[in-house]
Amino acid sequence: MKILDVMPKEAILDDLKSQNKKGLLEELVAPLAESTDLNSEDLVRVLMERERLGSTGIGGGIGIPHGKIKDLESLVLGFGLSRKGIDFESIDGEPTHIFFVLITPEDSTGLHLKLLARISRILKNDQFKERLLNAADQDEIFDIINQDDEEF
């Protein structure tokens, strides 16, 4: 499975506007809620509950909010780019610009962890991050991810 197998192009947001964590999560889950028929408020609630355990802002300008939900048939992934950056309570205290949001079914721990590891691995590549940060639009972000997308 590849990242783009579980991330529809419509779930790539190239200019997030929110300047707070809850608003940003609401923006990120909107296309996911539409594609899964899940309630966006439920998705935000699950993500906020996970954030209360500790921020998913992993540093280096990256956030990977994630959570599990009962009524989901298969995992869904979204991407968002905050051009200004926001305070996502990242471990390094720096603004966060690049977001991958992952929602998985409650019973899919293995796949959940594999995808988190895959995303973390590709985001360690500084050139990849730089290309994402400088991408002009959704199409370019899709192409950048597609170039680096490998089976996980």
In tens, the pLDDT along 81-137 reads 999 999 999 999 999 999 999 999 988 878 888 888 889 889 999 999 999 999 999
Domain coordinates of the chain in residue numbers?
12-146
Is residue 112 annotated as a catalytic residue, yes or no? no
The residue written with tokens 């997030």 in the block is: 16
CATH number of 12-146: 3.40.930.10
Select from 49, 31, 2, 17 the least CA-distant residue to 147: 2
Q: Which of 66, 68, 97, 112 is catalytic?
A: 66
Q: Which residues pair with 105 in a beta bridge?
A: 69
Q: Which residues contact 89 (CB under 8 A, 6 or more apart)?
A: 21, 51, 55, 57
Can you give the pTM of this predicted structure?
Answer: 0.94
In tens, the pLDDT along 48-78 reads 999 999 999 999 999 999 999 987 888 999 9
